[in-house]
Structure 1
Amino acid sequence: MFSFLDMINHYLGYVNLNVKLKNRIYTILGVLGVIYLLYVSVRWIKNGFGLRGSLILLVAIILAYFSVMNVFYYFTKKKAPLDISPKIEKVLGKTLGGNVEEAEETKQSGRERRGNDLLNGANIPANGYFDSKKILPGKVAVNSEQSANISQLANQLQQMNLMTPNYGGLGSRELAQQITQNKKPVYAIGLGVNIPYFELQQDGQQMIVYAGMNQAQKQPMGKITTVGLQPIADVYDKVKLYLANVILVGGPYMVMGRNEPIEKQAPYTIRVQLAYEREARAHAEQPGERTAAQPSTARPTLTTREPASRMKRYH
């Protein structure tokens, strides 16, 4: 029986399965193993080997408890009663070296710094460099057609090896430590992937983000709804807006399960940063505003009108 279970476990290692599906298979195999141990313990007791049979029965009962916990966790959405797994995990984490080693912390901080560069305006290879003091985050609304375009772009990036959704090569233990430490899910593509080409097009009062592998393959990816904290309708005619950066975010991600990280799915989407430039609008002085000292041939004085007061927060 154990040889059979070991053989199945061995061959499962050759198949690339979803983490949750693989754990469900292991749970079923565990239940079969528990049933076998119960059968063996009963046979030992009936044959007069009470002590040996009782020890096997005790082991079978303990394993049956954890099998029931796994059934609750992997096959239902209900919380298992009398779940002592968090306490066991806490104890094992302290005794088996749950602290992150210094080298791993250095590697992780390096990965986070490289990922943060995508979001702070320091790494903008596709559309030039903008002053980080004049860059604001924007929110994007995406409809079903644009969401399909984003998914298609994600597939193209992956096929051309420009995106590798492998959690940065982190193992299960490293992922668990990072999730526990940061209290946030870990995405397979990290903090985001730079998109090769993007541009901003104005359609009436709407600002549409186009992106793709290149200019010839650009597709609409979303509509800008806010710049900073202000609706796009309030600022589109008062400042010039430029796309500073567009990155692909979302996709598969890991969250902490009862004992180990589990993978969940989320749609890919885009995150944008917009650079702005205040528009200086000149207007000529009206003739009635001339002073008596000014000759009639004097040229009107040009003055620069400031944008609306709500836009002063940009400067």
Structure 2
Amino acid sequence: MLSFLDMVNHYLGYINVSVKIKNRIYVILGALGDLYLFYIAVRYLQNGHPFWGLLILLVALIMIYFVYLNTVYYFTTKKAPFDISPKIEKLLHMKPKDADLEDTKPMVRGGRNIPANGYFDEKKILPGKLTSSATETASIQQLATRLQQNQLLQLDYSGLGDREIMEQTQRLGKPVYASGPGVLIPYFEMQTENNQLVVYAGINQAEKQRVGVVSTVGLQNVADVCDQFELYLANATLVGGPFKVLGRTNLIEQDNPFTVAVQLAYKHQSDDQPQEPLTTPTANTRVSRYDEPGTMSRTSRSAERDAGSDSDSEPMTRTSRYHH
């Protein structure tokens, strides 16, 4: 029984569900394991082993108390009575989850997440639209699962509670995604295939998969832009997934497939062509006239005249007359 529960716990890591649903599943599995401990304790007592039976029964009673606390915490919005969690945190010098998130928020805001393929000028970056087929959409879902397994994707709604999520949805009128603003994909590249800009993405270069084709850049089609600009893939972000929206009285969580949002940097093709240097005309002075190669001095003209007269005086042979 315990091996079966451990196997289910292991395979839950490969299922792409929200953190709250996964914790609820863990609570149910813990309750089943606790019931199994009660069964073992009763069997020990029936077989004449009171020491081991009472010891296992005591452990089962302690475990069922924590199952009760987790049930109230994950399945309701109430606070469990007789909760000793704050005392345990104070005794072991542990910080609550909210305090840890508040300590890490300034560190995240302070740095800049620069993609591995370089930094582009934000003034020359436009959003692109990625068109994905059914196979490419399945590859994106597999990428999200791999990111979650390697702790690169946290579906915890950026550490927000239900009250904060409700306030945010009321203020902005938009759903709040479990992945937050999105996660930068570790590896991505763009290749030209059959006059199309194909985007590949993955957790690394060895696991890259085709995730879609760029159809538009800004408000224009790619075919209209490629003739005038050179396009580069600036970044690729994994967005979407499960989200929460405000219902009539409380929040409603819905599942949504993950997608890839891309941004492309552009550069004019004329920027790579070298420009001819501009020449400044010089004044035709008396000295420059004599320095020009096409200008002949009086002495050179007389010498050429003498050479021409000498050549005319030479006799022409029969062969030279035809070549003259």
Q: TM-score, normalised by structure 1?
A: 0.52
For residues 284 and 247 of structure 1, do their structure 2 counterparts lie closer, same or farther at Cα, with a shift above 3 Å needed?
Answer: closer
The corresponding residue for 1:217 is 207
What is the CA-CA distance between 1:238 and the residue it aligns to?
Answer: 2.3
For residues 282 and 178 of structure 1, do their structure 2 counterparts lie closer, same or farther at Cα, with a shift above 3 Å needed?
Answer: closer
> Does residue 169 of the first structure (1) align with residue 165 of the second (2)?
no
Structure having the larger proportion of residues in helix: 2
For residues 16 and 235 of structure 1, do their structure 2 counterparts lie closer, same or farther at Cα, with a shift above 3 Å needed?
Answer: same
What is the CA-CA distance between 1:126 and the residue it aligns to?
Answer: 2.3
Q: d(CA) in 1 for partners of 2:237 and 2:23?
A: 32
Q: d(CA) in 1 for partners of 2:204 and 2:115?
A: 14
The corresponding residue for 1:16 is 24
Gaps of 5+ in 1: 1-12, 18-103, 286-315
2:145 aligned partner, one-letter code: N
Q: d(CA) in 1 for partners of 2:273 and 2:189?
A: 28
SS of 1:154's equivalent? helix
For residues 252 and 204 of structure 1, do their structure 2 counterparts lie closer, same or farther at Cα, with a shift above 3 Å needed?
Answer: same
Q: TM-score, normalised by structure 2?
A: 0.51
Q: d(CA) in 2 for partners of 1:205 and 1:14?
A: 44
1:137 aligned partner, one-letter code: P
The corresponding residue for 1:160 is 150
Residues 124 and 244, structure 1, Cα contact 8 Å, conserved in 2: no
Q: d(CA) in 2 for partners of 1:231 and 1:171?
A: 41
Aligned length: 182
The corresponding residue for 2:126 is 136
- Say what the alpha-carbon RMSD is for the aligned residues: 3.3
For residues 204 and 166 of structure 1, do their structure 2 counterparts lie closer, same or farther at Cα, with a shift above 3 Å needed?
Answer: same
Q: d(CA) in 2 for partners of 1:267 and 1:144?
A: 12
The corresponding residue for 1:237 is 227
CA deviations 1:273-306 (Å, max 9, x no partner) are 1011111275999xxxxxxxxxxxxxxxxxxxxx
User: Which residue among 186, 197, 200 is the counterpart of 1:196?
Assistant: 186
Q: d(CA) in 1 for partners of 2:196 and 2:22?
A: 51
The corresponding residue for 2:174 is 184
User: Which residue among 246, 266, 271 is the counterpart of 1:256?
Assistant: 246
Residues 136 and 274, structure 1, Cα contact 8 Å, conserved in 2: yes
What is the CA-CA distance between 1:123 and the residue it aligns to?
Answer: 3.1
For residues 258 and 131 of structure 1, do their structure 2 counterparts lie closer, same or farther at Cα, with a shift above 3 Å needed?
Answer: same
1:274 aligned partner, one-letter code: L
Residues 244-283 of structure 1: matches in 2 within 5 Å?
244-280=234-270, 282=273
The corresponding residue for 2:302 is none
For residues 173 and 236 of structure 1, do their structure 2 counterparts lie closer, same or farther at Cα, with a shift above 3 Å needed?
Answer: same
> Does residue 206 of the first structure (1) align with residue 196 of the second (2)?
yes
SS of 1:208's equivalent? strand
Q: d(CA) in 2 for partners of 1:261 and 1:173?
A: 9
Rg larger for: 2
CA deviations 1:69-128 (Å, max 9, x no partner) are xxxxxxxxxxxxxxxxxxxxxxxxxxxxxxxxxxx9xx7xx79x959x9xxxx6323221
CA deviations 1:213-245 (Å, max 9, x no partner) are 111111111110011111001112321111111
What is the CA-CA distance between 1:14 and the residue it aligns to?
Answer: 11
